[in-house]
Each structure stands twice: as C-alpha cells, then as structure tokens.
C-alpha cells in the first residue's frame, strides 16, 4: 500500500474517534488543550495499536485463506464502511447522554469501542500484502491523535454539525479502499 492510501486509511479510521471527540467537546463548557490531548492520546494510541494486533492475527491465518484473502480484506473494509454510513444516516444525535467525564475508565471504554474496527482493518492489511504495518501504525496514530484533538474543539465551538458527515466520509473511504484491494487482486486495476 502506498503512502497516500495509508493516509486515506488513517483518515477513514479516525472518523469514529473524531465523532466521539466532537461529542466530548459538546459536553464541556470550555474545551482546552487538556481535553483535546486526553482524547488525542487515548484514541490515537488505541487506533495505532489495534491494527497491529489485527495485522499479526491476520498473518497467522494468511496461509489458510490465501486463495480468497482479497475477498476477506474487501469484506471487512466494506462491512466497517457500511456500518459507519448506516450510523451516519440514522436519526438522532449520538452525543446525547455524553458526559464531560474524561476519567481513565470512561476514556478506556471509549478508546476500545472506537478502535475495534481498526483491528479488523489490521486483518485486512495482512491480507492486502505489501503493507508496512509500522508506517500504517504511525500514520493511523498520528492522524487520529490530531483529528481527535481537533474534534474536541470543533464540538465545543460548532456543536455536532460535523459528527455525521465525518462518519459518512470515513465509511466511504474504507469501502473504496476495500474495493481497490479487491480489484487489484482480480487484475482489474494494475
């Protein structure tokens, strides 16, 4: 995977964390660097670690599914992307009931919840072949850190206006990357 594709993947994966960060920004009276950094570190850290775990799990099973690994990669990315799109078009604000709690327990649970998809993407990266997982990890972590920090400020200043659009954008990016992997393995794209 090329650098530009990894960057797109990082942006796509970070959209869930961005949306949750927007909600966290809505929940505080005044969001400062501390709240932005807390969200950035938690979400960026987990988004960086989970694809690595998924990648090595995928490598364990790569030999067993080598004949159809491109379909697995496409399927995982498509399901994650479609789920993000579905969440983006559902009515209601996901921020309802969100509190200004930035405690260890709360942030740990939110970081795990927003990064489960990243583990599945890591499995897809293992199936995709030529991927530098360490470069992917660094990009995903840094992009998620930055966008989560920005998300807190966006939510605090503008409200939930960008939450659903971010989720939809992330879903579309993941579906298109999965389609690209599939079409390359089928020889349609060269």
Q: What values do phi and psi take at 146, rounded to 5?
A: -65, -50
Task: Give me the mean pLDDT over the 106-112 stretch.
Answer: 89
For the record, the structure tokens of 109 come out as: 């649970």
Tell me which residue range forms the domain holding 29: 3-185
Residue 161 lies in a domain: yes
Residue 126 lies in a domain: yes
Q: For the chain, how long is the longest CA-to-CA vector? A: 54
Q: How many domains does the chain have?
A: 1
pLDDT above 90 coverage of the chain, percent: 31
Separation of alpha carbons 36 and 80, rounded Å: 26
Quick: pLDDT tens for 46-60: 999 999 999 999 888
pLDDT at 39: 95
pLDDT at 92: 55
Task: Give me the mean pLDDT over the 1-15 stretch.
Answer: 90
Among candidate residues 181, 144, 149, 130, the one with its CA nearest the CA of residue 49: 144
Residue 190 lies in a domain: no
Task: Give me the mean pLDDT over the 54-67 stretch.
Answer: 82
Quick: pLDDT tens for 68-108: 777 877 888 788 888 878 877 885 556 655 667 788 988 99
5-36 exposure pattern, b = at least 16 Cβ within 10 A, e = fewer: ebebbbbbbbbbbbbbbbbbbbbbeebeeebb
């Amino acid at each position: 995977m090329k650098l530009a594709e990894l960057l797109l993947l990082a942006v796509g994966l970070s959209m869930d964390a961005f949306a949750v960060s927007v909600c966290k920004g809505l929940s505080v009276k005044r969001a400062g660097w501390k709240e932005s950094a807390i969200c950035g570190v938690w979400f960026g850290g987990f988004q960086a670690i989970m694809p690595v775990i998924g990648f090595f799990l995928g490598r364990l099973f790569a030999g067993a599914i080598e004949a159809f690994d491109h379909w697995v990669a496409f399927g995982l990315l498509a399901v994650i992307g479609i789920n993000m799109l579905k969440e983006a078009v559902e009515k209601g604000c996901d921020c309802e009931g969100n509190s200004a709690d930035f405690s260890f327990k709360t942030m740990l649970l939110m970081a795990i919840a927003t990064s489960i998809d990243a583990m599945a993407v890591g499995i897809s990266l293992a199936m995709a072949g030529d991927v530098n997982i360490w470069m992917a990890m660094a990009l995903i972590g840094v992009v998620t850190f930055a966008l989560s920090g920005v998300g807190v400020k966006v939510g605090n200043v503008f409200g939930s206006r960008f939450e659903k659009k971010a989720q939809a954008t992330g879903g579309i990016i993941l579906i298109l990357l999965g389609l690209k992997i599939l079409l390359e393995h089928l020889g349609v794209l060269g």
